[in-house]
């Protein structure tokens, strides 16, 4: 059986070979490949060898360019253009189908090949090189060749970018991801400047990169610029920088659209003659707070605002934290304690909910104030005033107290005599001073007040000063008692 199969296969193989030799395909003479001479074959081999041994990234043209001397010189110029900037040669030229100069940039990506409006000739190379040099300088900023060529012709490379879509995506990201800001924060700090930027970018002569766009967005509708170093200018610069960096990272815009890492030159500095102290200062003493509380009218509205101010003073609360104040019970002792659920959001994330320990005030006579606020809170004896209308709790507090004569006189006296600025946050600052005067370390105060130690020392300078003084006093005490 095996012998029969083997013989059959041999016979079939001989038949196939015999038949295949009888048929021959003959092409017309105009379709045949022309015979090459020995010189042409040698030239082709030399060209292939040059492709293999050339270590640079400037490729030899794949199309026939005549191997003219000016082509070799042009490619050397491109190599020198790259290496003069401390980079590897990444540019190459070749002859296009229509006899123009075709420029390519490594790595090969969409948009990194372009045909220039210059003939493939020695006479046109001088002007062509100037154009390539300008295109390459722009491409180094993060653009591809197509965009860089448009920029050198003073055209904005819009492509398929939809700035409105990117704005909507950024809003979604800021309000639901990242630090998840409130809608009111978006409308106040982000919406105005980003809307101005989108209007400029979709106009007839849009900016070509991030820096001129950010400068243009620092202009008001009437043509005047936002004051250098002002808070509004700082908000606009930082918000627009976040938007542009988001577009570069998430929507893959060129690096030229990334905001500068150092935003201080764009924000500017306030002139010494125009500098206004926006930070709150602590009260000179607890007695000033007690006198202010005593000046409030003894009726329903006055009692509500008195209780709210007492909570801010004894607990060191931000005004908005009045809306997030609760009472919990300790599992071990069974005693009630204050708990604040407010989480302040910032560039480094959000603060954590915290336990608050009261610091009672002391009058000039040395009497410690016993307000029994936590007991009154548990029995619902404390009713807070409306704090959610307008621009927030701090603004509500300011509106009410701006009509109180004693508060106005206290503010004026503090400014004239001590150059202090009193606001609703002054109660919180006084809480910090009170704690440090009673020997509480900066770390514990920072924990109770709901921020990190670095923030506490930066915004409450007396915290660092008192810690230093306490450390030296302790060292001196140990030395004396040694």
Confidence of residue 12 (pLDDT cuts 50, 70, 90): low
Q: Rounded to 5, what percent of the chain is helix, strand, coil?
A: 50, 10, 40
Q: Which uninterrupted H or E stretch holds 400?
A: helix 393-401
Q: Is the pLDDT of residue 151 over 50?
A: yes
Query: Which pLDDT score, from 0 to 100, does residue 27 have?
Result: 46
Going by C-beta distance under 8 Å and a sequence separation of 6 or more, which residues neighbour residue 125? Answer: 70, 74, 101, 118
- Beta bridge partner(s), residue 325: 340
Q: What is the pLDDT of residues 88-144, one digit of tens each?
A: 878 889 999 888 999 998 888 788 888 988 899 888 888 888 888 888 888 887 778
Contact between 112 and 145 under an 8 Å Cβ cutoff? The reply is yes
Q: What is the pLDDT of residues 363-405, one digit of tens each?
A: 999 999 999 999 999 999 999 999 887 678 999 999 999 999 9
Going by C-beta distance under 8 Å and a sequence separation of 6 or more, which residues neighbour residue 59? Answer: 51, 92, 94, 104
Average of per-residue pLDDT across 236-250: 94
Q: Which uninterrupted H or E stretch holds 169?
A: helix 163-176
Query: Which pLDDT score, from 0 to 100, does residue 61 have?
Result: 38
Query: Which pLDDT score, from 0 to 100, does residue 56 have?
Result: 38
Per DSSP (E only), the strands in 98-196 are 100-105, 113-119
Contact between 262 and 269 under an 8 Å Cβ cutoff? The reply is no
Q: Could you tell me the two tokens for 442?
A: 């900066």
Contact between 340 and 325 under an 8 Å Cβ cutoff? The reply is yes
SS3 assignment, position 90: coil
Least confident span in 204-208, 349-353, 426-430, 474-478: 474-478
The angle formed by the CA atoms of residues 166, 172 and 178, to the nearest 5 degrees, is 110
Does the CA dihedral 333-334-337-341 come out positive or negative?
Answer: positive
- Beta bridge partner(s), residue 354: 340
46 or 460, higher pLDDT? 460
Query: Which pLDDT score, from 0 to 100, does residue 51 have?
Result: 44
Q: What is the pLDDT of residues 37-67, one digit of tens each?
A: 544 544 444 444 444 444 333 333 334 444 5
């Amino acid at each position: 059986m095996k012998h029969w199969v083997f013989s059959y296969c041999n016979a079939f193989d001989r038949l196939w070979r015999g038949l295949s030799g009888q048929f021959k395909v003959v092409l017309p003479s105009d379709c045949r490949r022309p015979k090459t001479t020995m010189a042409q074959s040698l030239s082709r081999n030399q060209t292939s060898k040059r492709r293999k041994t050339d270590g640079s990234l400037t490729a030899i043209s794949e199309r026939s360019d005549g191997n003219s001397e000016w082509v070799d010189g042009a490619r050397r110029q491109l190599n020198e253009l790259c290496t003069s900037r401390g980079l590897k040669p990444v540019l190459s030229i070749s002859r296009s189908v229509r006899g123009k100069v075709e420029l390519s940039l490594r790595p090969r990506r969409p948009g990194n090949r372009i045909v220039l409006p210059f003939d493939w000739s020695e006479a046109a190379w001088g002007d062509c090189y100037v154009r390539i040099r300008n295109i390459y300088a722009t491409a180094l900023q993060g653009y591809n060749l197509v965009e860089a060529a448009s920029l050198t012709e003073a055209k904005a490379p819009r492509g398929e970018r939809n700035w409105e879509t990117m704005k909507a995506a950024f809003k979604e990201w800021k309000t639901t991801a990242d630090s998840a800001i409130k809608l009111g924060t978006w409308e106040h700090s982000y919406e105005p400047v980003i809307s101005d930027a989108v209007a400029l970018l979709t106009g007839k002569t849009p900016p070509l990169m991030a820096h001129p766009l950010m400068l243009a967005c620092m202009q008001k509708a009437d043509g005047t610029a936002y004051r250098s170093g002002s808070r509004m200018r700082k908000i606009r610069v930082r918000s627009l920088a976040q938007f542009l960096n988001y577009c570069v990272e998430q929507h893959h815009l060129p690096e030229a659209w990334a905001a500068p890492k150092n935003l201080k030159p764009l924000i500017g500095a306030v002139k010494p003659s125009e500098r206004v102290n926006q930070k709150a200062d602590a009260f000179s003493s607890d007695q000033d707070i007690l006198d202010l509380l005593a000046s409030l009218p003894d009726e329903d509205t006055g009692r509500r605002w008195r209780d709210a101010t007492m909570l801010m003073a004894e607990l060191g609360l931000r005004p908005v934290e009045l809306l997030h104040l609760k009472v919990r019970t300790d599992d071990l002792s069974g005693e009630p304690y204050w708990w604040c659920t407010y989480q302040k959001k910032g560039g480094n994330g959000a603060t954590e909910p915290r336990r608050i320990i009261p610091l009672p005030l002391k009058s000039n006579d040395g009497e410690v104030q016993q307000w029994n606020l936590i007991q009154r809170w548990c029995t619902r004896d404390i009713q807070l005033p409306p704090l959610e209308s307008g621009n927030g709790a701090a603004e509500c507090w300011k509106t009410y107290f701006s009509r109180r004569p004693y508060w106005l006189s206290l503010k004026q006296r503090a400014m004239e005599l001590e150059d202090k600025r009193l606001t609703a946050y002054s109660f919180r600052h006084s809480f910090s001073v009170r704690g440090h005067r009673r020997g509480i370390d900066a770390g514990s105060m920072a924990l109770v007040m709901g921020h990190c130690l670095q923030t506490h020392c930066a915004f409450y300078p007396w915290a660092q000063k008192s810690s230093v003084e306490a450390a030296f006093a302790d060292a001196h005490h140990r030395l004396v008692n040694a």
